């Protein structure tokens, strides 16, 4: 059987099950670096602006996804927003039941195209609703590491 021969049934494929040790490093790119540094060093949310499309990208992007213009204009956005959608998580990534459910939300920032997915803190699942006003809760500056987790989450205002 050659590599380009089409298999007719799944059972004809040769498979084996094992583990492959892999390591990887994720780079956030130029825009992501600046975005995370602004959170870490100054506790602010940055976006990039496409003047041609009148869009502000959060998280920031180096290029406009609509017109492909390189984006050089950076703006600070208010560290608040509205819940666009949310979900209640009751299990960890490995399937274990959580002691307390977590609320994950997609929060749109005012004037921004896009938003941030993060935890909702200090809200009970039954109290969360779409359109709810929330604000960013940053970690204390000395605890920040240059990660999106320098934001603890969003809390209702
Ligand atoms: Zn554009």
The whole-angstrom separation of Cα 29 and Cα 23 is 19
Kindly give the distance from the C-alpha atom of residue 137 to the centroid of ligand 1, in angstroms, as a whole number: 30
pLDDT at 2: 65
65-117 per-position pLDDT tens digit: 999 999 999 999 999 999 999 999 999 988 999 999 999 999 999 999 989 99
- Burial (CB count within 10 angstroms: exposed 0-12, middle 13-18, buried 19+), residue 120: buried
25-35 per-position pLDDT tens digit: 889 999 999 99
Kindly give the distance from the C-alpha atom of residue 117 to the centroid of ligand 1, in angstroms, as a whole number: 23
Kindly give the distance from the C-alpha atom of residue 69 to the centroid of ligand 1, in angstroms, as a whole number: 6
Kindly give the distance from the C-alpha atom of residue 110 to the centroid of ligand 1, in angstroms, as a whole number: 18
115-148 per-position pLDDT tens digit: 999 999 987 888 999 999 999 999 999 999 999 9
Kindly give the distance from the C-alpha atom of residue 112 to the centroid of ligand 1, in angstroms, as a whole number: 13
Domain ranges of the chain: 25-156
pLDDT at 26: 85
Kindly give the distance from the C-alpha atom of residue 55 to the centroid of ligand 1, in angstroms, as a whole number: 7
Length of the chain: 157
Residue 130 or residue 5, greater confidence: 130
pTM for the predicted model, two decimal places? 0.81
Q: Evaluate if residue 10 carries a pLDDT over 80.
A: no
What CATH fold (topology level) applies to the domain 25-156? OB fold (Dihydrolipoamide Acetyltransferase, E2P) (2.40.50)
Kindly give the distance from the C-alpha atom of residue 140 to the centroid of ligand 1, in angstroms, as a whole number: 35
The whole-angstrom separation of Cα 90 and Cα 102 is 7
* CA-based nearest residue to 133, from 154, 104, 148: 154
pLDDT at 9: 83
Kindly give the distance from the C-alpha atom of residue 35 to the centroid of ligand 1, in angstroms, as a whole number: 19
Kindly give the distance from the C-alpha atom of residue 62 to the centroid of ligand 1, in angstroms, as a whole number: 11
């Amino acid at each position: 059987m050659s590599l380009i021969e089409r298999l007719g049934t799944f059972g004809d494929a040769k498979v084996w099950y094992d583990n492959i040790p892999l390591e990887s490093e994720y780079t956030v790119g130029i825009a992501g670096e600046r975005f995370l540094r602004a959170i870490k060093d100054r506790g602010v949310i940055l976006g990039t602006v496409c003047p041609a499309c009148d869009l502000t990208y959060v998280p920031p992007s180096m290029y406009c996804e609509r017109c492909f213009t390189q984006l050089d204009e950076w703006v600070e956005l208010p560290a608040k927003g509205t819940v666009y959608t949310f979900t209640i998580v009751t299990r960890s990534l490995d399937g274990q039941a959580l002691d307390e459910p977590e609320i994950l939300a997609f929060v749109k920032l005012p004037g921004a195209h896009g938003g941030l997915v993060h935890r909702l803190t200090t809200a009970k699942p039954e109290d969360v609703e779409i359109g709810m006003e929330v604000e960013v809760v940053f970690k204390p500056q000395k605890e920040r590491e240059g990660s999106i987790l320098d934001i603890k989450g969003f809390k209702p205002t």
